[in-house]
Chain A
Amino acid sequence: MALLLRRTDESDLPIEVIGVRPDRLRGMPPAEIGRFPIRHGNRTVPLAEVFQIKGDPSDERIDFEGNLRNVHRIGAQMSAGRIVVDGCTGWHLAAQMSGGTIEVSGDAGDWVGAEMTNGHVSICGSVGDLVGASYPGSRRGMTNGTILVGGSAGAEIGRSMRRGTIAIGGACGDHAGLGMIAGTILVFGSCGRYPGAEMRRGTIGLFGGGPVPLLPTFRRAGRFRPQFLALIERELRRTGFAGVDWPSGKLDLYHGDLLSLGKGEIWTREGGGLA
């Protein structure tokens, strides 16, 4: 039986549920779970003050319900288990997570999966900026794992990411894959300015069609259908990433960013061209 946490009040103050994760709460008696400290504004309060608690997390599953837009850090640093969110969450969802699964039926804020090292995150709605990104002053963003977003994403997704996959069903903002070290970003809607700026290696697929606003430090490398595409399509379909229009023909390949190593790849639909 899963542990159900239902938010009952409607206050706009930020709530941070640091440590409320299946691997941490498993085996904890219900009274202790109710006393688990979380941040509410500038105070530390027991979990039971903000959430109505039902069930137990013995099967390593936590369900969140109610108004969660200002509930931040859901699933942050989680290492195992499953979190299911019915609604929209705040910032830092799945940040620094190292294992397990998180599913969100609505939207999520900035920093989804920032610096995550493994695990699977899937969001039906849209997300904010800096998906899978590195925190300020940090050298690496996500180093493994998968982030699937049904809707659109904001700016600087995959900043300094080292490995792992980010797939965005809708559009994405500016500077996707900024300073990317390696890994894969796929965007099925339109794309903001300067994707792949300072990328070293890694793959960015911009499959929204239409012109792609690339920097002058990217160079056209050819037009063909890469073999990896069928593999990644099959794998993402298997994990439930559906409803997007996968490109069927050849793709255009650009190499860059020549300022930093230049081994990165940007793939666009055939004849997409530069903006």
Chain B
Amino acid sequence: MDPSRTVDDRRIWPDSVCTACGCLCDDIVVKVKGDRILEAQGACSIGEGHFLGNRRGDGPEAWIHGEPANFDEAVERAAILLAGASCPLVIGLQECTTEGHRAAVELAESIGGGLEVPGVSATILSLQSVGEVTCTLGEIQNRADFVLIWRADPVRTHPRLFSRHVLEPRSDFLPGGRNDRFLAVVDIRETTTLKEADLAIPMDEGAEVEALWLLRALVKGIAIEAEQIAGVALKDWQALVERFRAARYGAILYDGRSNGLSVRGIHSLVRELNERTRFVVMPLHSGGNGVGARNVLTWRTGLPGAVRFVEGQGPLSSDAGLPSATAADAVLVVSGNPMVMDNEPTTEVRRKIPRVLLTGNQEPHPQAAEVVIRTAAFGIETSGTVYRMDGVPLPLRAVVASRFPTVEAVLRSIEHRVRERRA
């Protein structure tokens, strides 16, 4: 069903989803004239940049070795490259709908390759080892009378998080809105979020793990000998723990890019807090649909972060499998910048490996990969399903038509060619 209406020569799309940050605000009113977006009502500054920065891409639809090519030639070339590889790898997938993720899983299976979603391994590993006590943003919005922001700056990175979900909304349980809630912020820098806090704890850089272990000890009532931990006096940490105890419903939000022992510490702390009062934890993920990729991978293969398909076997875990990124002999980068993939071993290694790049970027670099295929811009020119950072799926609608096919369509075409070649 098309919910848009036309007023004069403008098309108005109500309740559009903005994919600029992990909040995935779904109340944006987008006004379009022809193929230009004139206004994104209700969007924050990041959201405005996302909607208004979109321009109709021009130039060729694909490049092979930096030379302009048509779509069919590029798909054919990509299929030859991927089907001929002995250890192909599909990476990226953040800027892609759930439908695109499904197509990527099917393509990876047909070429016998690996599939990796970068940057989620720490959250997944901690989920597998200590679990995750979590909820939806709606629950935080209605119930959380205590919020701790751990080393994140949502005022800057997720501008509408506080006003829509976490701090300001009034509810039956918190009729006073902001006045009924307590905001604590722990960070290493003077951030904008830190300035809004009722209790601000600026700690030393690189000491998060000590601080988390200390908090866990204080929550459990274990006596600690040190007077100062992570550059903060013990009594300040104790004040924070008193706040934990006083909370009826607490929420801890941290940067989704955090890694290693910090994530495990945060998740364990929340688990232990639940012995006294209700507490939940949520990573603040960045924009795009990385959460969706994790969901699709789990329901299609049973493995959330990285998987590989080997002839005659089911999907195998590659979290603990093989150094696939260095071992690959062909890489398909789906909707991402190939230069900033965060589990990239070294650019040197990757550069030698032939690459296929699918990109919704309006001005892609023709030399960025052996084959570059342009796709409709994610979040603006594509319809489908996207996942908010709390795991709630939302419908995404294309507000502007694109000259280029969707990621899903390109992946299906490549898979079709691969199967044709095999036959």
Contacts and interface: CB of A to CB of B under 8 A. Distances in A.
Interface of A: 12-14, 16, 39-44, 70, 72, 90-91, 109-111, 114, 130, 135-137, 174-175, 178-179, 193-194, 197-198, 215-217, 219, 257-259
A215 B319 contact: no
B87 A39 contact: no
A88 B73 CA distance: 43
A79 B209 CA distance: 39
Contact of A41 (B129, B320, B329): B329
A70 B317 CA distance: 18
A193 to B, nearest CB: 7
B220 A259 contact: yes
Which are the 8 A-B pairs with shortest beta-carbon distances?
A41-B86, A42-B112, A41-B87, A14-B327, A137-B128, A215-B213, A258-B222, A14-B322
Nearest to A258: B222
B79 to A, nearest CB: 16
A43 B113 CA distance: 10
B213 A13 contact: no
A149 B327 CA distance: 25
B275 interface: no
B209 A194 contact: yes
Residue among A13, A109, A111 with max Cβ neighbours from chain B (10 Å):
A13
Interface of B: 85-88, 111-113, 124-125, 128-129, 209-210, 213-214, 216-217, 220, 222, 224-226, 229, 260-261, 268, 308-312, 317, 319-320, 322-324, 326-327, 329
B329 A13 contact: yes
A28 B125 CA distance: 41
Contacts of A42: 86-88, 111-113, 308-311
B261 A194 contact: yes
A37 B225 CA distance: 59
Contact of A216 (B226, B322, B327): B226
Contacts of A13: 86-87, 327, 329
Contacts of B226: 216
Contact of B312 (A44, A91, A258): A44
Given A13-B329, A14-B322, A109-B323, A216 B213 contact: yes
Contacts of B320: 111, 114, 130, 135-136
A197 B216 contact: no
B37 to A, nearest CB: 43
Nearest to B219: A259
B216 A39 contact: no
Given A42-B311, A111-B320, A216 B214 contact: yes
Contacts of B327: 12-14, 70
B87 A14 contact: yes
A193 B210 CA distance: 10
B274 to A, nearest CB: 15
Nearest to A135: B320
Contacts of B217: 216-217, 258-259
Contacts of A39: 310
B59 to A, nearest CB: 35
8 contacts: A39-B310, A90-B322, A91-B322, A137-B128, A175-B260, A175-B261, A217-B224, A259-B220
A70 B209 CA distance: 34
A136 B322 contact: no
A165 B226 CA distance: 32
Contacts of B329: 12-13, 41
A197 B125 contact: no
Nearest to B124: A136
Nearest to B224: A216
Contact of A193 (B128, B209, B224, B317): B209
A16 B124 CA distance: 26
